[in-house]
Amino acid sequence: MSILFKNADILSVKDGRFEYLQCAYLGVEGKVIDYIGTEAPVKEYSEVKEMSGKMLIPGLVNSHGHTAMNLLRGLGSSLDLQQWLAIMWPIEDRMRDEDCANGMNMAILEMLASGTTSFCDMYMSPGHTQACIGESGMKANLTRVMMGGFKDTDYRLFSNRLEALEFVRQYDNAYDGRLRADWSMHAEYTIDAEVARKWAEETTGLGGRFHVHISETRKEHEDCIKRYGMTPAAWMEETGFFKIPTYAAHCVWCTEEDLQILSSHQVSVVHNPSSNMKLGSGFAPIPRMLELGINVALGTDGAASNNNLNMFEEMHLAAIIHNGYVNDPVAMKAETVLKMATINGAALQQRLDTGSLEVGKKADIVAVNLDAPHMKPNLDPLALLVYSAQASDVTMTMVDGRILYEGGEYLTLDKERIIREFEDSLRYLYR
């Protein structure tokens, strides 16, 4: 199976920077991009797709979220954080394996339609939700969220531990590598110190990556200092984490010393601007992280605190809110933000074969419509993507050379069935 996209504008890469080709060709052989150029390729492709008026961009990577929290979308909005959590937790406690899968499937519909080709998830029931990755054709790094142990510090009885170990053992690199099984710990404030230490020890050396929340709120950050005499980042380092590749969500209240710790261990940071703004958490020091060479990716967080899974919105926010915060119109640039949403996310997931449109890379490709009134003129393609484009401008989403979404239709998934099952879960959870 091979496909040639013709007459497309293509956001490719040259010497490590984006290169914009107009009216160009991109060829896909099997799962891999085998041609990019402004001249027609010599090779014959089995399918040719006319793409004039479309821009091909790398698939977006949503590097932090809790997808099944779309079952809680809109719940407790306009409440403060403690009231909000008090509403969330009893409903999450009721969630069954099938609810997690029904939520993730619905999230996949939303993500595919908005140009996301890969995501990172920290939630429950990954042994069950892994099938959503298999069926849909998307890429994901899933984890079993680890928390608790306060009442029962007997590590052997720490039940999530066995689920996580079994999940990673069984599913890492499943579905031809589209699924990666990672480790996680929710956060410093939701785990017993002794359980955390043992968990860090046990997971080191088993492969995989580590997904964690760090210093999302001021309270979390300051409470940790009171509890342990050090910040969450310092506590994690001291507890034995960061020995395997780690990605840390939020990092809003990280100090300069924290950033040095993250940098020295090559910890990636996931910026979640919608969630950080909506919940009043604050402004993560993203420009400083970038200066330090930290790999910063972008995520939506869960739909309960966003309230959607729209990476175009996150790009827009990441590109403008820091300018406003530091009163500098060039604090963040469109090019930087687009890298955060693509190649940096791929690096965090340790998928070095994707994240950009280059010959030899996996064909994880999104087509963006340039013909809408809000997309004219195209004087600056990167600015157009980051400041003007909407998720609804996505007309096609391809993963590993397979078209999963095109023109409002899902090619691997039964949308009606997924909506029906999602509504079944809603009825159960809110009964």
| Nearer to its own copies (CB atom), residue 130 or residue 307 | 307
The span from the CA of 7 to the CA of 5, in Å, is 7
CB nearer to its own copies: give 197 or 415: 415
Residue 107 or 404: which CB sits closer to its own copies?
107
CA atoms within 13 A on the CB side of 94: 13
Give the span between the Cα atoms of 22 and 152, in whole angstroms: 61
Smallest distance from its own copies to CB 301, Å: 12
- Report the alpha-carbon distance of residue 394 to residue 127 in Å, rounded: 31
Using the structure block, give the residue that is written with the tokens 């890492």.
Answer: 172
From the CB of 121, what's the least distance to its own copies, in Å?
16
| Smallest distance from its own copies to CB 385, Å | 10
Provide the 10 A C-beta neighbour count for residue 266: 12
Taking the least distance from each CB to its own copies, the nearer of 30 and 324 is: 324
Give min distance, CB of 376 to its own copies, in A.
7
Edge-to-edge strand ranges of the sheet holding 296-298: 60-62, 116-123, 139-144, 179-185, 210-214, 246-250, 268-271, 296-298
Question: Residue 148 gets which letter from DSSP?
Answer: B
Nearer to its own copies, 44 or 93 (CB): 93
Nearer to its own copies, 77 or 159 (CB): 77
Q: Is the dihedral of CA 54, 58, 64, 68 positive or negative?
A: positive
| Phi, psi of 29, rounded to the nearest 5 degrees | -115, 115
Nearest approach in angstroms of CB 353 to its own copies is 29
21 forms beta bridges with 10
Q: How far is the CB of 131 from its own copies (least distance, A)?
A: 19
